[in-house]
Structure 1
Amino acid sequence: MGELMQVLGRIERGSDGDETVAVVFDRHYATTPEDLWQACTDPDRLARWFAPVSGDLRPGGRFTIHFDDADTPQCRVLTCKAPTRLVWEWPVGGVASVVTAEVAADGEGARLLLRHERLTSAQVAGYAAGWDTYVRRLEADVAGNALPDWGDTWSALHALYAAAR
């Protein structure tokens, strides 16, 4: 990674006494809102930039994310309001973390607001680096470009997020 990498997301800490943390990404993509929604919900598209996903992506449905490292979280859809909002529970360390993906028109393109909450301070750097890598891979995918290498990108970003924790 020759260029100096900068984080794309932000870490939000809970109010006093609340130990949960969220990572938030607010990104513009040079595509239509419909295409961005499809990229975030269609299993074939998800497999290209995120990970293979199997199951039911409807409200109350359950689905599994199949990561390369044998991590296979069993998730549950809380809300699906196509083509604008998908909310699901993702079990992380015995806690039901919550991921919200919102898609909207944004000028000539589309905007994705992605929020993963109910993480702990110990977990946040890894998940922030992961989502940061994924939003970069999504950007490359919708543009038809080569996807950034997962391992190199995640490692560089993890160090930056860990320092910001």
Structure 2
Amino acid sequence: MATPLDEMLAAVHRTGGSVTVEIDRLYPTTAPDLWSACTEPDRLARWFARVTGDLRPGGEFTIHFDDDDTPACTLTDCTPPESFVWRWPVGGHDTTVTVEVAADPGGARLRLCHEGLPEGPAAGYAAGWDTYVRRLEADLSHDDAADGDALPDWDATWGALHPLYRAALASA
């Protein structure tokens, strides 16, 4: 069941001069399937973005977002099928994204943490991650989601969530 757009899925925390975004989400699938959805380029392209490059520890890869943003990232650690970590440059800051996948009695659990975000764009990144995990849920729930038709609309979802995250960070 889809989460309403007035409910934020991510927690945002200020730590010093930066922001951390954390998501802990249960999906109706197996841990191997969730790992595959989070690590295989063809599946990532369905719900996240096209990813190209060397997806091994120490390898560099590029995320190709639809708005022509193409961050060059570095995979720093990978322990299949449990976790991976990468560095993502954001506004001159070296941020870190950690993804953990685990079996859960209700399916498979995804824990995502994006640390070191500059305060200015942090609400946008929080809304972005929230939008992506909603799209992941829809992708995992539909066998025909490969063309993206069954996924929540990026612009509408992000647009509804961004003000919520701006307000959450303003009151934090």
TM-score band (shorter)?
A: over 0.9
What whole-Å deviation, never above 9, does each CA across 1:76-128 have from its counterpart, x for those lacking one?
Answer: 00101010101000010111100000000111410000000101221210000
| Cα distance in structure 2, aligned partners of 1:12 and 1:163 | 13
Which sections of structure 2, spanning at least 5 residues, go unmatched?
none
* TM-score when normalising by structure 2: 0.90
Match of 1:9 in 2: 10
Distance 2:118 2:95 in 1: 10
Q: State the Cα deviation string for residues 3-58 of structure 1 (Å, max 9, x = none).
A: 552111100121xxx21110000000000000000000000000000000001111
RMSD: 1.0
1:94-105 alignment runs, 5 A limit: 94-105=92-103
| SS class of match (1:68) | coil
Which residue pairs with 1:56 in the alignment? Answer: 54
Tell me what 1:132 maps to. 130
- Aligned CA distance change for structure 1 residues 94 and 84 (closer, same or farther; 3 Å): same
| Whole-Å separation in 1 of the counterparts to 2:80 and 2:10 | 24
Structure 2 match to 1:151: 155
TM-score of the aligned structures, taking structure 1 as reference length: 0.94
The one of 139, 142, 155 equivalent to 1:141 is: 139
**Structure 1 residues 149 and 68 mapped into 2: Cα distance closer, same or farther (>3 Å)?**
same
Q: Report the counterpart of residue 111 of structure 2 in structure 1.
A: 113
How many residues in Structure 1 have an aligned counterpart in Structure 2?
160
Alignment partner of 1:22 is 2:42: no
Q: 1:153 to 1:4 in 2, by over 3 A?
A: closer
Partner of 1:47: 45
Retained in 1: the 8 A contact 2:5–2:157? no
